Amino acid sequence: MSPSELPRVGYVLKMYPRFSETFILSEILAHEAAGADLAIFSLRPPADGRFHEALAEVRAPVTYLHHHGRRAGDLWDLLRTGGAELPGLALHLDELLAADVDDGAQAVELALLARAGGIAHFHAHFASVATTVARLASMLSGIPYSFTAHAKDIFHESVDPADLRSKLDGAVAGVTVSDFNLGHLRSRHGAAASAAVRVYNGLDLRRFPYAAPDLRPPLVVGVGRLVEKKGFVDLVDACALLVARGRRFRCEIVGAGPEHEALRRRIGDHRLSATVVLRGPLPQSGVRSLVAGAAVLAAPCVVAADGNRDGLPTVLLEAMALGTPCIATPVTGIPEAVRHGSTGLLVDEHDPEALATAIERLLDDRDLRVRLAGAARALIEEEFDVQRQAARLRRHFALAPAPAAGTTRAQECA
């Protein structure tokens, strides 16, 4: 598909930018590098004030939709305008009114802005509120939509199967990030997911140069939000086992989250403060530098008690690209990248003993590190290059021309 054939695509995101969502930033930049015309619609303003350097390269304009605090008169004016301008508002009024008031109002606002701005297709990330708003806006405006589902929005106990099924059924494409996820959607949601597709999250490989890990110091790194599904409790326990065996190494865990204090206490209880360090969050350049100098990247992911789990952590792909050997668990799509004994090592969930043994193996065996790293980089180049993955995603964007700006429902039906 050439740039001239691409529709103007509206990216619908719950929050933009978001420090943890580097994969969305990479995807947007890859689309723009291919000549795509994008506009970004964010349902919430950014919350933490930390931004990655590559954000400055995004050319797409960003619109922050109104959230909370609308007065009754403002809502009435919005509906009045929508009734005149949006072809589907009267037809889908019942469904609009059944939605959360903020979601419904944002859907009307998005539909109006999209038609005025020549948007021909919506793409949302995460099958939660962003897709809720994109789907409603699609119904109101006639602009088709697609979405990418990741993990929590598929597996968490709070996911409403009927709601997800309706989103899959109404989308031009329901995209997900692993074959594991795709199989789950098709088995769970039947015909509604029959057109679902897998498109991996990708990396801009120019930002992740490969270096062989033969001479790296004994540094073990974990990166991610400090939440249950990342399995960092097991990493701390594995480090305690290694220290008890007399191993000399350092472990640095990068990230922030609700488990920070519990992990800090666990490190103290094991008397590991000289070995295990909680680094807090780092910008992408800082993470890249740390991972590139490590002998091991540990991602002992688990299925959390509430069903939450990772899809395929971006940091694993980044480490594999950089030449850092990875140890992970066979959760969801992880084995599609970390193939045991070929591109990395896999251990069972909640098994600090096995994790410690795998870490020790990589620290001791330079030839194994080099072999795994070389095969991992080759796989990343073949399957996870962001330019290729973004091009695959664009194939699922609808090509219909955008509704003419200012066209009313009456004019369309005439």
Query: Mean pLDDT throughout 345-365?
Result: 98
Quick: pLDDT tens for 165-221: 999 999 999 999 999 999 999 999 999 999 899 999 999 999 999 999 999 999 999
Quick check: 411 pLDDT over 80?
Answer: no
The rounded mean pLDDT for the chain is: 93
Structure confidence at residue 191 (pLDDT): 96
381-385 long-range contacts, CB within 8 A, separation 24+? 381/205, 383/200, 383/337, 384/200, 384/201, 384/202, 384/203, 384/317, 384/321, 384/337, 385/202, 385/203, 385/205
pLDDT-derived band of residue 48, with 50, 70 and 90 as boundaries?
A: confident
pLDDT higher than threshold 80 for residue 408: no
pTM of the shown model: 0.90
Average of per-residue pLDDT across 321-345: 98
Q: What is the pLDDT of residue 51?
A: 72
User: Under 8 Å CB-to-CB from 364, ≥6 apart: which residues?
Assistant: none
At 396, list the tokens.
């699922």
Specify the pLDDT at position 141. 96
Q: pLDDT tens digits for 138-163?
A: 999 999 999 999 999 999 999 999 99
Backbone angles phi, psi at 148, to 5 degrees: -110, 125
Domain ranges for the chain: 3-202+388-413, 205-384
d(CA 315, CA 143): 34
**What pLDDT sits at residue 9?**
97
Cis previous bond, 325, omega within 30: no
CA nearest 146: which of 110, 111, 120? 120
Stretch 396-407: mean pLDDT, rounded? 58
Return the DSSP state at 310: -
> Can you give the pLDDT at residue 19?
81
Please check whether the two domains, 3-202+388-413 and 205-384, share a CATH topology: yes
Is residue 378 pLDDT above 80, yes or no? yes
What is the per-residue pLDDT for 402?
A: 52
**Between 259 and 284, residue with greater pLDDT:** 259
pLDDT of residue 222: 98
- pLDDT confidence of residue 6: 62
CATH number of 205-384: 3.40.50.2000
pLDDT of residue 95: 94
Q: What is the pLDDT of residue 52?
A: 72
Residue 310: pLDDT band (50, 70, 90) is very high
Query: What is the reported pLDDT for 410?
Result: 31
Residue 404 confidence (pLDDT) above 90: no
- Angstrom CA distances, 414 to 15, 112, 321, stand at 39, 20, 56
pLDDT of amino acid 1:
47
pLDDT band at 406 (very low <50, low <70, confident <90, very high): very low
Choosing among 3.30.70.1560, 3.40.50.2000, 3.30.390.50, 3.40.50.700, the CATH entry for 3-202+388-413 is 3.40.50.2000
Report the candidate in 316, 299, 250 with the shortest Cα–Cα distance to residue 279.
Answer: 250
Q: In what order do the strands lie in the sheet with 219-223?
A: 276-280, 250-254, 219-223, 296-299, 326-328, 345-346
What pLDDT score was predicted for residue 401?
A: 52
> What pLDDT, in 10s, does the model give residues 85-129?
998 999 999 999 999 999 999 999 999 999 999 999 999 999 999
> Band of the pLDDT at 409, cuts 50, 70, 90?
very low
